[in-house]
Amino acid sequence: MDVIDLRSDTVTWPTEAMRQAMAYAPVGDDVYGEDPTVNALEAEAAALLGKEAGLFVASGTMGNLTAALTHCGRGDEMIVGREAHMFRYEAGGSAALGGIHPHILDVQPDGTLPLEAIRRAIRGDNDHFPRTRLICLENTQGTIGGIPITAEYTAQVGALAREHGLKLHIDGARIFNAAVALGVPASQLVADADSVSFCLSKGLCAPVGSVLVGSHAFIRRARRVRKSLGGGMRQAGVLAAAGLVALRTMIDRLVEDHANACALAEGLAALPYIEIDGSRVRTNMVFFDLAQDAPIAPAALADRLRHEYHILLRPYPGYTHKFRAVTHYWVTRAHIEQTLEAMRALLT
Ligand code: TLP
């Protein structure tokens, strides 16, 4: 990359191996179920997450929306975190397109929704109420710090869901970051979920796509929902090929991104006007605040980083003084040092 882009891991470019695989991928018509590369990706993704089947979708947003529309009908309710991507950053798609009523719970600093709050949110059988159908968790929990959620907690939510006849969906956009950080297989983290959507195009560097996984019956229904959303993608094998490289070669190395995030957090903590809790840096995200009395305003800081140092880093969408830096394959340890140097120069 020609810049140091810390805005997100969505900015990652495909690797050379991905570009090669994409160029020569065997393809077919995936709407007919005949693209061998898509079929291979869906099968590998499902196996990796311990589920029966997978569905290649265009984006994380489409994966979550397809799951919500498959689990819920119009007027049904889904329990979801106030800080969840599904609630905050998906253009209200589940309500706009599915008539799904969100029941919002506060996310705890550890990324969880309190079990007692979930229990209270589940509706009784009463004509006045929407029907509760779905609980949504996010792992890693992005907006509150990229925090990995444990298998033990998810199992408790799964038990609660089963007790009440509900489904559990996990927005696992960065589930492999969580798995690497916690040192457990991703399949263990989602064992209790009925569906999981994870992204190939974030830290795993594929240019496009996510995979939604679940039971055969769920994925069969989800396939029809994906079609209705315009997500039947024909010769999508050229994209899935990069996804296969991502699954086979890009997961274990996420540990490097986490180490770089820690190094960045440590360096930032030593700078004036930076407010940061380094102990919250658990995966590839570093959140920090620029003090109100800093000698430079947040927008000006972002501007000067970009124009004078070719570093892309900006306030997190929806906030003024809160920044999020995300490490990924294209951010090296030398880039972290360069970023700290630039920040030091602009703040002192
Ligand atoms: N998140 C993006 C922005 O939309 C905020 C980012 O830069 O982090 N779930 C989670 C937890 C996500 O963080 C994202 C993307 C998605 C779903 C949606 O994925 P895409 O962008 O592929 O639709």
Q: How far is the CA of 347 from the centre of ligand 1 (A)?
A: 30
Q: Report the nearest-CA residue for atom 16 of ligand 1.
A: 60
Q: Are 71 and 185 found together in one domain?
A: yes
Q: What is the pLDDT of residue 283?
A: 98
Ligand 1 pocket test, pick from 83, 174, 195, 202 with the greatest ligand atom count within 8 Å of Cβ, gives 202
pLDDT tens profile 283-312 = 999 999 999 999 999 999 999 999 999 999
Mean pLDDT of 43-65: 98
Residue at 229: amino acid letter: L
* Any domain includes 9: no
> Residue 263's domain is classified under what CATH number?
3.90.1150.10
pLDDT tens profile 197-247 = 999 999 999 999 999 999 999 999 999 999 999 999 999 999 999 999 999
Q: What is the pLDDT of residue 124?
A: 94
Ligand 1 pocket test, pick from 11, 199, 208 with the greatest ligand atom count within 8 Å of Cβ, gives 199
Q: How far is the CA of 142 from the centre of ligand 1 (A)?
A: 8
* Any domain includes 98: yes
Q: Are 147 and 263 found together in one domain?
A: no
Q: Average pLDDT, whole number, for the chain?
A: 97
Q: What is the pLDDT of residue 275?
A: 98
* Any domain includes 1: no
Last residue of a domain, one of 249, 274, 295: 249
Confidence of residue 72 (pLDDT cuts 50, 70, 90): very high
Q: Are 202 and 285 found together in one domain?
A: no
Q: What is the pLDDT of residue 147?
A: 98
Confidence of residue 3 (pLDDT cuts 50, 70, 90): very high
* Any domain includes 222: yes
Confidence of residue 84 (pLDDT cuts 50, 70, 90): very high
Last residue of a domain, one of 228, 249, 270: 249
Confidence of residue 2 (pLDDT cuts 50, 70, 90): confident
Last residue of a domain, one of 214, 249, 284: 249
With helix as H, strand as E and coil as C, how does the chain read? CCCEECCCCCCCCCCHHHHHHHHCCCCCCHHHCCCHHHHHHHHHHHHHCCCCEEEEECCHHHHHHHHHHHHCCCCEEEEEECCCHHHHCCCCHHHHHHCCEEEEECCCCCCCCCHHHHHHHCCCCCCCCCEEEEEEEECCECCCCCECCCHHHHHHHHHHHHHCCCEEEEECCCHHHHHHHHCCCHHHHCCCCCEEEEECCCCCCCCCCEEEEECHHHHHHHHHHHHHCCCCCCCCHHHHHHHHHHHHHCCCCHHHHHHHHHHHHHHHHCCCCEECCHHHCCCCEEEEEECCCCCCCHHHHHHHHHHHHCEECCECCCCCCEEEEECCCCCCHHHHHHHHHHHHHHHC
Name all residues whose Cβ lies below 6 A of ligand 1: 8, 10, 59-61, 85, 89, 138, 142, 171, 173, 199, 201, 210
Q: Report the nearest-CA residue for atom 4 of ligand 1.
A: 89
Confidence of residue 271 (pLDDT cuts 50, 70, 90): very high
Label residue 215 exposed, middle or buried (CB < 10 Å: 0-12, 13-18, 19+).
Answer: middle
Q: What is the pLDDT of residue 140?
A: 98
Q: How far is the CA of 90 from the centre of ligand 1 (A)?
A: 8
Q: Report the nearest-CA residue for atom 5 of ligand 1.
A: 89
Q: Report the nearest-CA residue for atom 6 of ligand 1.
A: 8
Q: Report the nearest-CA residue for atom 3 of ligand 1.
A: 89
Mean pLDDT of 270-283: 97
Query: Which residues constitute the domain of residue 292?
Result: 253-347
Q: How far is the CA of 284 from the centre of ligand 1 (A)?
A: 14
Would the pLDDT of 49 be above 90?
yes
Q: What is the pLDDT of residue 278?
A: 95
Q: How far is the CA of 243 from the centre of ligand 1 (A)?
A: 17
pLDDT tens profile 129-164 = 999 999 999 999 999 999 999 999 999 999 999 999
* Any domain includes 156: yes
Apex 284 CA angle, 139 and 65, nearest 5: 35
Would the pLDDT of 317 be above 90?
no
Characterise 264 by phi-psi region: left (phi > 0), alpha (psi -120 to 50), beta (else). alpha
Q: What is the pLDDT of residue 70?
A: 98
Ligand 1 pocket test, pick from 89, 177, 195 with the greatest ligand atom count within 8 Å of Cβ, gives 89
* Any domain includes 287: yes
Q: Are 195 and 265 found together in one domain?
A: no
> Residue 183's domain is classified under what CATH number?
3.40.640.10
Q: Are 300 and 313 found together in one domain?
A: yes
* Any domain includes 6: no
CB atoms within 10 A of CB 319: 13
Confidence of residue 318 (pLDDT cuts 50, 70, 90): confident
Q: Which atom of ligand 1 is nearest to the CA of 58?
A: 22
Q: Which atom of ligand 1 is nearest to the CA of 142?
A: 11
The dihedral sign for the CA sequence 87, 93, 96, 101: negative
Q: Are 162 and 111 found together in one domain?
A: yes
Number of domains in the chain: 2
Percent of the chain surpassing pLDDT 90? 98
Q: Residues 247, 42: contact at Cβ < 8 Å?
A: no
Q: Are 226 and 262 found together in one domain?
A: no
Q: Report the nearest-CA residue for atom 7 of ligand 1.
A: 8
Q: Are 258 and 226 found together in one domain?
A: no
What would the two tokens of residue 6 be? 């810390």
Q: Are 186 and 90 found together in one domain?
A: yes
Q: Which atom of ligand 1 is nearest to the CA of 89?
A: 4
